[in-house]
Structure 1
Amino acid sequence: MKQVIRYPVVLAFLSLILLPTFAIAQSTGLARLSDRDDLLGWEAVGRLDIRGRGYCSGTLIAPDLVLTAAHCVYDKKTKILYDPKTLTFRAGLRDGTSIAERAVSQIAAAEQFVPGVPLNLDMVRHDVALLRLAEPIVSSDADPFILHSGQEVGGAVSVTSYGQGRSEALSRQRHCNILAAEEDLMAFDCDVTFGSSGAPVFAKVGSRGRIVSVISGAGSLDGRPVALGPSLPANVARLKLQLRNAPRPVPDQIKRLSVGDRNQSTGAKFIRN
């Protein structure tokens, strides 16, 4: 029977540092997905570029939805959400070429996540964001991953991410483990570094991985470096509702065509909002 590390134990012995100021370098068998064959099946994982502010990792969970960490979508200085127009998702980016590249039109971050406060367990549990793309990515280019819950402590997982020193291509760690899981918080012995924030943690279910968490932060458990992430189903369900209820962005110009228009042009009218 697998031993479950209860949340009070994690709370007592876990010291936390957010990923932008901390990295775990364990040399644990990371493989660079260098060519198209290596990338096959992982195209839905991409790099989320924040104009002039660096990048995070993200994953398609629907043709127009990207899953990442909440702390990736807040301006560190102002502590408010980035303008979606400053974000670009590059699916399967490899050495300057991506499978698909899309602008972001909407951002939804967990309401319980408070940007700018010192990292704590509550923030890790809600460090989740969803991005709506301006245009969907067809599944023939990048097949979205689905979510999974119920993984046990000791279970094997894998991580696919970008990071410092490996920002131009995905790196995949085929095997790491869940060290602790309680109260919507999970700890892993996975190899993560700067830029790995928002990276998907996969459990193998059937023939393809399913996402059990995203990388939020890093710290130490009993002196051992660990990566941390939230559980996803409830968080993502709330974020999808948040996106549905938010007003959709309207284009700067709307083209209207009418039959029999008297204008000597083609009949197209442009109305600026």
Structure 2
Amino acid sequence: MARIAADDTPLAAMETADQSRGYEAVGRLDIGAGTFCTGSLISETVVLTAAHCLYDQDTGKRLDDRTITFRAGLRGGRAEASRSVRRSVVHPQYDTALANTSASVASDLALIELTQPIRKSGISPFTIHAGAMRGDEVRVVSYAIDRQDAPSMQEMCHVLGDLDAAQVLSCDIDFGASGAPIFAAPGGVPQIVSIVAAKARMGGAPVALVAPLGDNLAPLLAQLEASDGVFSRPRPAVQVLPRDEARRKAGAKFLRP
């Protein structure tokens, strides 16, 4: 496993419209009473987040979708758009019984369908990047504890290596950042490459464990398309880029952020 890069940038609050421009489709998912995660639009009606956000941490039961609200571009307590949730689907391989294992991290993906589409100037759903490999520079936008009223960005962190089918990143995350999008930015355009599933410590340093997208998104999209939903659900555009086939493994103790 590579060492954390010395050129990682610090986490910075996105408190103004200029700082948030291009990332308005990242939002806070308010879940039940006082719980939240981070999510991001990948179409006008579909939000990508972490599967474990949709389960009660004490009972392991799925939460009622009616208790969830997506607040796109929330900043200073005000959202660019707010929508309730029609339904949600989780990755078919996600298993709450395997929580806190690398297997659960890799499949810790969910899609949330909104009751109404978000069609607003300045809020553009993100496309999906096929994958990142060890050494690649990425960035993360998230909400988290003690900074839940505005998103924060770490403009540069790095892919440190693989943990079975999951990946280890040097990105700075905390509780509430679950589901936060990890971006690659080819040509300066942010594209989601993975999402935050857990935080950990490796070699005494904090790291983020993420669920890569790539082929993992297809089973979730299929679940939405198989039903008789109200809205059409266009697939997010996927740009296929070459990636390193080598896989490296490392042990970690981690928590759901």
Match for residue 37 of structure 1 among 9, 13, 18 = 18
Distance in 2 (alpha carbons) for counterparts of 1:99 and 1:203: 24
Give TM-score scaled by structure 2 length.
0.82
Alignment: residue pair count? 226
Is 1:129 matched up with 2:119? no
Runs of at least 5 residues in structure 2 that lack an aligned partner in the other structure = 3-7, 231-257
Tell me if the contact between 2:126 and 2:190 (Cα under 8 Å) persists in the aligned partners.
Answer: yes
Match for residue 198 of structure 1 among 179, 183, 204 = 179
Distance in 1 (alpha carbons) for counterparts of 2:50 and 2:98: 15
Please identify runs of 4+ aligned residues in structure 1 that moved more than 4 A: none
SS of structure 1 residue aligned to 2:185: strand
1:91 maps to which residue? 72
Tell me if the contact between 2:103 and 2:164 (Cα under 8 Å) persists in the aligned partners.
Answer: no
1:57 maps to which residue? 38
- Give the 5 Å matches for 1:109-258: 109-138=90-119, 140-181=121-162, 183-248=164-229
- Give the 5 Å matches for 1:19-30: 28-30=9-11
SS of structure 1 residue aligned to 2:96: coil
Give TM-score scaled by structure 1 length.
0.78
Q: Over residues 69-124 of structure 1, what are the superposed CA-to-partner deviations in whole Å (9 max), with x where a residue is unaligned?
A: 00001122332222111100000001111000001101010121112544100000
Tell me if the contact between 1:44 and 1:144 (Cα under 8 Å) persists in the aligned partners.
Answer: yes
Distance in 2 (alpha carbons) for counterparts of 1:150 and 1:199: 16
Distance in 2 (alpha carbons) for counterparts of 1:173 and 1:241: 32
Report the structure number with the largest CA radius of gyration.
1
2:81 maps to which residue? 100
Runs of at least 5 residues in structure 1 that lack an aligned partner in the other structure = 7-26, 250-273
SS of structure 1 residue aligned to 2:190: strand
Distance in 1 (alpha carbons) for counterparts of 2:138 and 2:168: 11
